Every structure is written in structure tokens, then in C-alpha cells.
Structure 1
């Protein structure tokens, strides 16, 4: 026999962004609880609204599974006395396990015999185990918590009721002052209490009280309702995935409706209107079939259609106030010049230890020019880059960005075009913020990409110089995300750029700027370690083997594009027949070269004592001569081809001989080969077994 479990945690309204991760967490922890307690099940269905987190577990047995457990006891020599009788140690052991000495067997472990018994543990009734779900509820974690009443216990919102059923029976436990039962609560305004007879009746019982507990069903209702509006009005309504998820988790019974605003507001940039609707009001924007914005919006009410016209008017009134502000800010911003805005940035702090935004732009201008020179921008591109880097933060002091921070960069592009800047400069101003998330869109233009890297690199270096290095999960200035963005941009642009070398050039270029702030770029080790950590993270997303990532990150290569290419090449050739013997041969070379670091790697062929030395030396020189002109993959294949002469060399040659001149000469040759190999990757860290 089996039954279903229903667990519902009733709360005050939760923030929409917390609902989905919380119910997912509840599912995972419930599954772990059941597995730990030897309770099988078919599936776990989840339900959620702003006021509840719930799940239903199907086909759970009436009792736990019985188990047989083998338990190790004392050694045989301790378990038996001199007469061969059971000792007190043996008798105490079996008594503690609930068995008798007749159940004892012996097993040998590492030449020593030990007492073993097999005991059977009978499963408890499931209804007696399930009160442990209380610990599942209290173990949930949230980004923010609160406490209420006289309790010190904290949760995302106060708990008002708990439904806990095993079939028709209530699972009895109490959390704070809330005792479990079968009574849930319906829609705050349209419903009443709902008695849940069995777990299978849950959805229908709540639906009767105007609550659609299945989030997927609510989302489907919203989609259908909005599509009906779009069809009726012959318009297009883009269902932004993030906004749709948020709206779904804001309501318990959704009803979509159409609202309007005055056409005059369409003179305001489209991005401002969409931001006002989406970010501030949770509205969907409406477009004509041709794609241009129309003076409509779609919202979703938490309720039915009763009085929907008044609801629409109320929402229109709120939006109009927002758009009125936006129109005013836009008009006022037209009175500002870019030069005036840049001057204002002198009084806007970037960080108290790192100076103003104006000072940051001064540094970034120098960094951007260094990068532009390194990657080979044209003179026109360099001129546009220079102009963009001198003004790219100016929109931060505009009225519009002050009201809508989400539009930073976007309004910079708009205002730059209005004031006569070139499209390339304007685009770079918008793109320098990208990517805004770990997998967000990247800059499309070369100038935008350079400015984005320069801006992020300045933040990274100056925060490190000021001693504000991320630790653990603490990263208040998002340096991990910014560094990851730098890596993604460089990979996409395929720039041959060594950030370590660039760091030293930046150090020289901005030394005076940093001296005024009483900070300086000293030890590069923390920076390099931090950078390598993000490179590891990036390569892991490419399904690169962990040992290949280690080999690439620990190589002598500092050019990021070359590191990415090395990881790809190694990953592609790891299954080659010659991979294992060739890597093992080169590993032997690298290990010997590491034993004695040489500064002088001059090789004297006159000291060679056998043909294998000559042949390997000639092969190394051949690889060296073309190393800089070949692709990384060609160099890798050339190194792999050295397996035969390396093996022959070690068969005929003893490297660590007593004659110091001969020994040093041989180490010098191996060091030259090791340096070539380590430029590709730390091949000695690759797994070949």
C-alpha cells in the first residue's frame, strides 16, 4: 500500500524573485529527506504562489523499507578468551546490536580476523517518520529573512499555516505557534479557507477559492489571455521571459488587461518607455505588426475581471505619472552639454579610495589607448576611442539616468547622437557596460569592446591596489563578474593580449594618477591568481577537461587567446593514439628541466656523446626556428612529433652525469625544449592514465 504526501507552507506575500528558487529548494530537500529515511516515491510535484510553497509526493509506502546492516566488531583474538569462550567484549558487542553470539561470523581484513554480525532494522511507519518534514521547512535558506512576533526564528515571510497530509491523515507537528492541519487559505480577496481532504484534491480545492497553485498553469493562463488581447487588437505583445516569470509569481489568479497612455509620450526614447513599463510597473509593452511601439500596455491583475475597467484606469494613471516625469527629464537633459556633464563628474565619487568618476575616466583613457595600440586599431578607430573614453560616463549625471539607473549607457548613446558625436563613439558609450551578467550580450564594436575592457580592467587593478580584494562570497564591487566579462570579450574578439604584460604597461602609464590617490600597483600575484580563477571558470563552461584547464592556466603563456586556443587544441587531440606516449615523453623532459633552473641555455654540440643527442638537438632547433610563425596547433603537433627522438635520447643518454659541463649542457638542451612545451601548456599536468 502507498499514499501521497502533501506539504504546503502558507506565508505572507513573498517577493516574486524568491518564489521559484524557494520551491525548487523545498523539492530538493524533501527528496533528500525521503531518501535518507528510506522512503521511496514516484515523483515530487511542486506548487507555488506569492503566499505558498507546496509540493505533492506520489506513491510513498506506508512503512520504511527494512534494512540489513553488517556491523564490524572487535578482533577475533579479543572476542574469544583463552578457553575459546566468548569474551565480555564480544557479548557486549552483540547485546548492543540486538543480536546474540550465535549470529557472529568472522571476516579477515589485512590478515586480521574480526567479529561481524548482520542485524535487521525494521522500518517504522511512514506517518511516524514524516514529522521530520518540520526540519525540511526550517532548513530552507533565503537571500533575506525576517523575524516576527516574539520569535527569534527567521524566514522569508511570517508563516501563517501549514498543511501536511499523508493520504487522509494529518502529519502532526508544530512550528512556532502554527500546528499542521488540512486547512489552507484561498485568494486574499476572492476566496476563503479551503479544507484539503487528500493530497490529490489540493489543486481543485484551491481553485474553488480562486487560487491557481500550479505556476505553469498560471503562466499558461497569462499567455493565453495576452494572446487573446493581441489577436483582438491586431498588435504584437512580446512576452519577455523574465517579466513573465515575475508576473506569474506576483499573482494567485491572473487576469490580463489592456491599458493606454497618451501618444505624446512616444516622443520620449523607446527604451525609456519600455523601462518605465517593464522595470517599474511590470507591464508588457505593445507594438504594431511592423515593430514600432504603440501607446498601450498590458498588465496582469491578481484577481478576476470584476471592475477591470477601473483597475485599468488606475494603472494608466500611475503609468502616466511615470511617463510625465520621463518626458520632463528628457526635455531637461537636452539643455545639458556633454562638457557640462563631464565637468560635474569631478564631484561624483567612484570610490573614496579610488577617486572621482572623472579621475577614473582619465585613467581609462590611457588604458584604452594602450589596448587599442596593442590590438592594432586604425587611426580613425583610435580617435573615436579617445573621444569615447573622455566622455563615456557623462550620462550618469543626467536627470534621466538619475531616475532610471537601468538606462545608464543607453541614454549616453542617445544623448551623444543628439549632440553630434559619431555613431561609433555613441555605440561605445552604450557598450562599455557590457556584459551586464555572466552570460550577457557582449560589445559588437571593436571600440566598444576596448572601452569595456579598459573600464573593467581599471576597476579591477585599482580596487586590488587599494587592498579591496574579493574574498569568499564577498565581492561588493562585482570584480569577479567584471573580470569574467573581460575574458569573454577577449575570447570573442580573438585579441592577442597578455593581461599581465598590459598590467605592467598600465602601471607605468597611470603611476602618477595613482600616486595622487596614495595607492600603487605592486605585487602582480594576487591579480594573476584572481584572473586565473576566472579563466578556469570560463574554460569549465566549454566542457574542457579539468587537467587540461590546469595545464593551460599553469603554463608560461600569458596571452589569453593563446590559452583559450591551447585548451581547445588539447581537448580535440586528447583521444589521439600518440597523445599518451608523446605527453609522457615531454613530461619527462619538463620534470628534469625543473630540477635545476638554468639562466644560460646555450648548448655546445661538441659535448654530445652519442647520435641521439645530435638528433634531438636538431629536432628542437627545427621546432624553435618555426615556433613563432606557426599556429598553436601546428606547434603542438610539432612537439608531439618529438616523441621518438626524446625516447631514443633517454635510452642512450644519462642526463645527471658527474661531469658538470656535460650535465649542464644536457640540462640546457632539455630546458629549451621544456620552455617550448610550457608555452603551449604545462603538459606535465595532463593525465595520461
Structure 2
């Protein structure tokens, strides 16, 4: 016989971004709890609103499965004394299993007898097992927590109710200072407390008190209502997924409505209007059938459609107040001069340990000049980079960016165009912020890409130089995101420049405002970001071997990892890697100043290996490079079969080590082969 289980935790309003992850976490931890306790079930449904987290388990077994498990212990010769009594080893073994020596039997395994015991555990009733549910609730983790009342325990928000129903039976459970009951709460204003009658009636009972507990039903209702408004008013509403998910977790009973604002505000840049609506007010943007922005918005009320006209008026009033500010700043900013704003940046601090924004921009320009040279950027693009680097932070001092800081760069582009700057310069000002997230959009233009890399490189090197290095998950200055942007942009534009060479040149710069430091940490940080770019199918040993190599061109590293992954599926991978690994291990002993002298060769195998290394060309695709290296396996093996490297003759020994080092100097461009696992 099976039963349905409902667990609902009623809380104060949670932040929208926490609701869905917390719901999924509760579901996953409950599933793990049930499986760990041998309780079978059909499925687990998850529910959530801003004021509740809930799960319902369908067809939960009424008792645990019985457990029969065999345990192998010490060998018989260790388990028995000479007189046939059990040794302390045998007694300790059975005691650890909660049994006595009476349970011991002996079984033969591979010609030798061993102690075995069989432990049988009768399954407990489901009610007994579910007493541990409080630990499941306590195990939930949140990015922010709080204490309340006299509790020492921290949670996302104060807990008000806890309902645990097994079919129509309420189970007793204590969580924090709350005792479970049948009570759940309806909508804060439209509903009231209710008494849940069973696990199956949960959704229907809450719906009667204006709560849609199922987030899928709630989101579908929002989307359907928006589509109805589109049809009624002949418009198109931008249903942004991120905004939709946020709105979903702000309401318990959604009602969408259309509001409007004065046509004159459309003279303000569209980005400002969209930001005001989406980011600040959580409104959906409305356009005509051709995609042109209209003076309307769609919002979602947490409630029914009663007195909706008052709600619409209130939302319009709030939005218009923001648009009035935007219109004022837009008009006033156009009176400003870029040169004056750039001059004022001298008094704006980039970071108190690093200096002003003007100093940061000067270092960025110096880095950009190095990049332009290494990437063979055209003279025209180089000129655009130089001009953009002189002014690219000016918009931070405009009134509009002060009000809408998420539009820095975007408004800089617009103001630059209005001031007569070229399209390339204006676009670079916007693109230098890209990417704005881990997998965000990258620059499309060469000047924008160069400026973005240069700006991020100075940020990285500057913060590391003054010891502000991320540790653990702590990264207050978003240096991981900036560094990921550097390697992703280099990869997108196919600039085959070595990051090692680039960083070496940057540390050699004589900059007046800041001397770069902690170079080794910077290189390790860059490698860690490149590591994240590898396909998850590439094994860790291959990634480590590639990153430990001598090549630090982003695309080459990724391609080498993929090539080695494919090669690892072939029969000759293991012997080829082992041959090359032997070379790498011995080559480490080669004196730095010694070069290969063919006249010192004493056998044909030395000569053949030398010729093979001399002819080795690793300028083709990564898979062809790996193939060429693996083709040397027989030559390498013949060399080792016929040649003693570490001989007493110092000159001959060093010559042979130098020969091996000449091979690793080339092979190291692909990977450090002695770090590859072959077992």
C-alpha cells in the first residue's frame, strides 16, 4: 500500500531570485533522503511561491524495504586463535556491524577462507522514518540568512507554518520553534489561513484563497494573460525569460495589466526607457508589430482584477516619475563636453590602493598599444583604439549614468556619437564592458575587443599587484569574470598571441602610476579561466598537461585538449604517451646551456632520433600535431632500447639529455606529456 506525502514550509517573503533554487533544493534533498532510507515512490512534485516551499511525494511506500547485506571481514587465519576462539580482530569486525560472533560464517574466496556476516534489517514504517524530515529542512542552504526571535539557527526568512500530511493524516514534526499542523496561509491580502485536509487537495485548497502554488501553472497564467493583452491591443510584448522568472517569484496570484506613459518620453534613448521599465519596475516592454517601442508597459499584479484601474494609475505614476528624471538628465547631459568630463576623471578614484580613473585609462592605453602590435591590428583600427582609450570612461560623470549605472558604456556610445566621435570609437566605448556576465555577449569590432581586453588586463594586473587577489568564492571586484572575458575575446578574434608573451611585455612596461607585481599569481589565474573553457568531456589530466605546456595561445590550448581526447580513444595512445613521458622525465635533467652536438652520437638510434626531431613540424592542426608526435614512438623506443642516457662520460650524457630536451621543447607546445595518465 502506498501513500501521498505533502510537506509545506510557510515563510516570510523570500527574495525572488532565491525561490526557485530553494524549491529545487528541497525537492532534491527530499529525494536523496527517501532513497537513503529505502522508501520507494513514483514522483516528487515541487511547489513554491514567495511565501512557501512545498513538495508532494506520490505513491510513497508505507514502509522501508527490508535490507539484507553481506559483509566480508578478515581472513580466517586472522579471525581465529590457535584454540579456535575468535580473535579481537574478528570481535571488533562484528561489533562494528552491530552483531556478535554468533553471526560469523566462513566463505572461500580465491582459495582462502574469510569471515562473513549477514546483516538483516526489517524495514520501519514510513511514519517512523519521516521523523527525520526536520533534518532535511535544516539542511537547506541559502546565499543569505537571518536569525529571528530567540533562535540561534539561521534561515532564509522566519518560518511561520509547517504542514506535513501523509494522505489525510497530519504527522507531528518539530522544526526550529514550529510544530507541524494542517495550517497553511492564503494570499496575504485576499486570502486567510486554511486547514489542509489531505496531500491531494493542496493545490485546490490554496487556489480558493488566491494562491497558485504550482509555479508552472503560475507562469502559464502570466504568459496567457500577456498574450491576451497583445491580441486585445494589437501589440507585441517582450517576454524576457529572466524578467518572467523574477515576476513569477514575486506573486502568488498573478494578474497582468497594460499601462501607458506620455508619448514625449520616447525622445529619451530607448535603452533608458527599457531599463526603467524592466530593471527598475519589473515591467514588460511593449512594441508595435514592426518592433518599434510604444508608450505602454505590461506589469503583473499580485492579486485579482478587482480595482485594477487604481493599480494601473499607481504604476503609471511611479514610472512617469522615473521618466521625468531620465528626460531631465538626457537634456542636461547633452550640454556637457567630453574633454571636460575626461579632465574631471582625475579626481575620481578607481581604487584607493590603485589610483584614479585617469591613471587606469592611461595604463589601459599602454596595454592597448602592446595588443595592437602583437595582434597586427590595422592602422585605422589602432587609431580608433587610441582615441577611445583617451576618453572611454567619460560617461561615468554624466547625470544619466549616475541615475542608470547599468547603462554605462551604452550611454557613452550615444554621447560620443552626438559629440562627433567616429562610429568605431563610439562602439568601442560601449563594447569595452563586454562581456557583462560569464557567458555574455562579446565585442564585435576590433577596436572594441582591443579596448575590452586592455581595460580588463589592467584591472587584473592592478588588483593583483596590490594584493587584492580573489580567494575561494570571494571575488568582490569580479576579476574572474574580467579574466574570462580576456580569454574568450582572444579566442573569438583568433588572435594567436601567447598570453605568456603578452604578460611578460606588460610587466616590462614602465608605468608612472603603478608597478605591476605578483606575476606568477596572474599567470595561474589566467590558466584557471582557460581551464573553464575546455569541454567537460576532456579529462582533468589532459587539461592539466596542456596547461602545463609551453604554448599559451588560448585556441591552441583548447584544440590540443580536444585532439588528445580523441587520441585517447585509440589503441596507440598509451604506448605513445608513455614513450613521450619517458623523454620528458629524463629531459628535466638536461643542463640549460648544453646543445646537441651530432659528432658525439655513438649509435644509429641517436642519429635517427635527432633527424626525426629536426624534421618535426608542429605548425599544422592540433590533431596532426598529436599524430606527428605519436609517430615518433618507435624511434623513441629504439633509442632507449639501444642507448644508455646516464653514462659516465659527461659530454655524451649531456648530449643525449640535450637531444631529449630538443624534443620536449617542441612537444611541450602541445602538452606536458609526463602529466598524462595512462593507467
TM-score by length of 1: 0.94
Cα 1:336/1:30, change in 2 over 3 Å: same
Say yes or no: does 1:588 pair with 2:586.
Answer: no
Aligned to 2:248: 248
Q: 1:185, 1:452 → 2: CA distance?
A: 51
Cα 1:620/1:91, change in 2 over 3 Å: closer
Q: 1:398, 1:102 → 2: CA distance?
A: 85
Aligned to 1:566: 560
Q: 1:375, 1:450 → 2: CA distance?
A: 9
Of 272-281 and 605-614, deviating more is: 605-614
Correspondences of 1:128-527 after superposition (within 5 Å): 128-514=128-514, 520-527=515-522
Aligned to 2:636: 646
Aligned to 1:533: 528
Secondary structure in structure 1 of the residue aligned to 2:200: helix
Q: What displacement does 1:59 show?
A: 1.4
Cα 1:308/1:601, change in 2 over 3 Å: same
Say yes or no: does 1:655 pair with 2:645.
Answer: yes
Aligned to 1:599: 592
Cα 1:97/1:444, change in 2 over 3 Å: closer
Cα 1:405/1:95, change in 2 over 3 Å: closer
Of 122-131 and 5-14, deviating more is: 122-131
* Conservation of the 8 A alpha-carbon contact between 2:464 and 2:518: no
Q: What displacement does 1:513 show?
A: 2.0
* Conservation of the 8 A alpha-carbon contact between 1:146 and 1:154: yes
Secondary structure in structure 2 of the residue aligned to 1:305: coil
* Conservation of the 8 A alpha-carbon contact between 1:491 and 1:564: no
* Conservation of the 8 A alpha-carbon contact between 2:395 and 2:408: yes
User: Deviation string for 1:589-626 (max 9, x for gaps)?
Assistant: 222212x1322343222222222222222222122xx5
Secondary structure in structure 2 of the residue aligned to 1:200: coil
Q: 1:101, 1:590 → 2: CA distance?
A: 55
Of 386-395 and 139-148, deviating more is: 139-148
Of 212-221 and 522-531, deviating more is: 522-531
* Conservation of the 8 A alpha-carbon contact between 1:5 and 1:164: yes
* Conservation of the 8 A alpha-carbon contact between 1:74 and 1:115: yes
User: Deviation string for 1:354-391 (max 9, x for gaps)?
Assistant: 01111101110111111011101111111110111111
* Conservation of the 8 A alpha-carbon contact between 2:47 and 2:215: yes
Cα 1:681/1:332, change in 2 over 3 Å: same
Cα 1:463/1:123, change in 2 over 3 Å: same
Q: 2:175, 2:641 → 1: CA distance?
A: 75
- Alignment root-mean-square deviation, CA: 2.3
Q: What displacement does 1:564 show?
A: 2.5
Q: What displacement does 1:137 show?
A: 1.2
Cα 1:658/1:176, change in 2 over 3 Å: closer
Secondary structure in structure 1 of the residue aligned to 2:301: strand
Q: 2:361, 2:221 → 1: CA distance?
A: 49
Cα 1:612/1:79, change in 2 over 3 Å: closer
* Conservation of the 8 A alpha-carbon contact between 1:38 and 1:65: yes
* Conservation of the 8 A alpha-carbon contact between 1:590 and 1:674: yes
Aligned to 2:546: 552
Q: What displacement does 1:348 show?
A: 1.3
Aligned to 1:517: none
User: Deviation string for 1:56-90 (max 9, x for gaps)?
Assistant: 01111111122123456787578666654668997
* Conservation of the 8 A alpha-carbon contact between 1:253 and 1:303: yes
Cα 1:248/1:380, change in 2 over 3 Å: same
Q: 2:572, 2:115 → 1: CA distance?
A: 51
Q: What displacement does 1:631 show?
A: 5.0
Correspondences of 1:35-74 after superposition (within 5 Å): 35-71=35-71
* Conservation of the 8 A alpha-carbon contact between 1:9 and 1:162: yes
Q: 2:70, 2:371 → 1: CA distance?
A: 66
Secondary structure in structure 2 of the residue aligned to 1:205: helix
Of 608-617 and 244-253, deviating more is: 608-617
Aligned to 2:655: 665
User: Deviation string for 1:406-441 (max 9, x for gaps)?
Assistant: 111111111111111111111111111111111111
TM-score by length of 2: 0.95
Secondary structure in structure 1 of the residue aligned to 2:190: coil
Structure 2 unaligned runs (5+)?
A: none
Cα 1:336/1:64, change in 2 over 3 Å: same
Q: 2:445, 2:252 → 1: CA distance?
A: 44
User: Deviation string for 1:522-543 (max 9, x for gaps)?
Assistant: 44211111111111122145x3
Structure 1 unaligned runs (5+)?
A: 515-519
* Conservation of the 8 A alpha-carbon contact between 1:540 and 1:546: no
Q: What displacement does 1:109 show?
A: 8.3
Q: What displacement does 1:446 show?
A: 1.1
Secondary structure in structure 1 of the residue aligned to 2:65: coil
User: Deviation string for 1:439-472 (max 9, x for gaps)?
Assistant: 1111111111111111111011011110111111
Q: 2:630, 2:82 → 1: CA distance?
A: 67
Aligned length: 679
Q: 2:544, 2:100 → 1: CA distance?
A: 55
User: Deviation string for 1:631-654 (max 9, x for gaps)?
Assistant: 555444332332232222223222
Q: 1:475, 1:102 → 2: CA distance?
A: 59
Q: What displacement does 1:338 show?
A: 0.9
* Conservation of the 8 A alpha-carbon contact between 2:363 and 2:511: no
Secondary structure in structure 2 of the residue aligned to 1:680: coil
Q: 1:507, 1:115 → 2: CA distance?
A: 66
Cα 1:635/1:35, change in 2 over 3 Å: closer
Q: What displacement does 1:335 show?
A: 1.1
* Conservation of the 8 A alpha-carbon contact between 1:497 and 1:561: no
Of 257-266 and 6-15, deviating more is: 6-15
Cα 1:267/1:654, change in 2 over 3 Å: same
Secondary structure in structure 2 of the residue aligned to 1:512: coil
* Conservation of the 8 A alpha-carbon contact between 2:590 and 2:654: no
Cα 1:94/1:148, change in 2 over 3 Å: closer
Q: What displacement does 1:666 show?
A: 1.6
Cα 1:656/1:407, change in 2 over 3 Å: same
Aligned to 1:612: 605
Q: What displacement does 1:312 show?
A: 0.7
